[in-house]
């Protein structure tokens, strides 16, 4: 969990997402954020939690995540059995934000848990304790996923998707991405411009087989290393090339793009 922030994390809005999120929160509507990896979905939620001065419980969903991981379970300690709340339950009790990142990766039984919190009921039944928690007005459920990465077995069902107000995130335009790099890392204008150019070139490659393209997050990593004095080519090799592929031939093709910008 992250406690309420007194200082806002760095975030640069792309459109009306801040306004929409605030309206959704005020009107007790859950929010779904969809978009590719590394474009600021998690940072945006952290920013909004700080802006609204709410505690946030972030859960990185995965194949083994169960409903019990979210709600809680009985544990044994000091010779006795006691109940331990999961992150979703704590968020409901405290009236904070529960953010389920890449929610489609979780096991299907998690859907049963979030449905009654994502409609007019706003309740969390805890079968193992017999409790039915009514979410306070400040509670908000936020989920995210990457539509381009899901497969048939891991798509979000329409019956779940239609319970949410939805936001679509995408890669920022060049001007905004340069501004993000400068604001996030303090790098100089030319470095930001060159890195954004590399990122856009890598995303446009047609004959290279990549599971995912270069994210803004990876460009930020490269900018941090360069700002700290690392050679730009080596910084890009570590932050972009090797993070995007294990294939040597593909890595060489990506490195050619880097060398065209930061060539020696």
Task: Say whether pLDDT at 117 is over 90.
Answer: yes
Residue 152's pLDDT is 46
pTM of the model: 0.88
For residue 201, give the 3-state DSSP assignment.
helix
The topology under which CATH files domain 17-168 is: Rossmann fold (3.40.50)
- The residues, any chain, with a CB within 8 Å of residue 153's CB and separated by 6 or more, are none
How many Å apart are CA 104 and CA 110, to the nearest integer?
10
DSSP 98: E
Task: Say whether pLDDT at 57 is over 70.
Answer: yes
What are the contacts of 228-234 at 24+ separation with CB within 8 A?
232/191, 232/194, 232/262, 233/258, 233/259, 233/262, 233/263, 233/264
Residue 6's pLDDT is 52
**What's the average model confidence in pLDDT over 82-98?**
96
Backbone torsions φ then ψ of 221, nearest 5 degrees: -60, -45
Task: Say whether pLDDT at 154 is over 70.
Answer: no
Residue 264's pLDDT is 60
Task: Say whether pLDDT at 3 is over 60.
Answer: no
**Domain boundaries, given as residue ranges, for the chain:** 17-168, 174-262
**What's the average model confidence in pLDDT over 167-183?**
95
Lowest-confidence segment of 58-67, 72-81, 99-108, 172-181 by average pLDDT: 72-81
Task: Say whether pLDDT at 29 is over 80.
Answer: yes
DSSP 38: T
Q: Give residue-wise pLDDT tens across range 208-257.
A: 888 889 999 999 999 999 999 999 999 999 999 999 999 999 999 999 99
Task: Say whether pLDDT at 207 is over 70.
Answer: yes
Percent share of the chain, pLDDT over 90: 76
């Amino acid at each position: 969990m992250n406690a309420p922030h007194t200082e806002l994390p760095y975030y640069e809005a792309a459109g009306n997402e801040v306004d929409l999120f605030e309206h959704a929160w005020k009107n007790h509507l859950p929010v779904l954020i969809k978009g590719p990896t590394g474009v600021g979905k998690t940072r945006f939620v952290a920013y909004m939690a700080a802006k609204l001065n709410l505690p946030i419980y972030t859960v990185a969903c995965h194949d083994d995540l169960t409903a019990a991981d979210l709600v809680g379970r009985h544990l044994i300690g000091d010779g006795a059995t006691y109940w331990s709340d999961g992150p979703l339950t704590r968020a409901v009790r405290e009236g904070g934000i529960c953010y389920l990142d890449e929610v489609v990766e979780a096991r299907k039984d998690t859907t049963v848990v979030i449905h009654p919190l994502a409609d007019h009921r706003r309740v969390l039944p805890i079968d193992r304790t017999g409790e039915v928690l009514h979410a306070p007005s400040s509670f908000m459920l936020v989920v995210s996923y990457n539509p381009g990465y899901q497969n048939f077995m891991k798509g979000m069902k329409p019956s779940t998707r239609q319970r949410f107000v939805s936001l679509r995130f995408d890669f920022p335009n060049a001007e905004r991405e340069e501004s993000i790099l400068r604001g996030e890392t303090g790098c100089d204008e030319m470095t930001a411009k060159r890195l954004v150019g590399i990122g856009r070139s890598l995303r446009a490659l047609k004959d290279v087989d990549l599971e995912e393209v270069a994210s803004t997050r990876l460009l930020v990593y490269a900018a941090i290393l360069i700002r700290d004095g690392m050679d730009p080519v080596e910084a890009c090799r570590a932050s972009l090339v090797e993070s995007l592929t294990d294939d040597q031939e593909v890595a060489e093709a990506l490195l050619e793009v880097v060398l065209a910008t930061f060539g020696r």
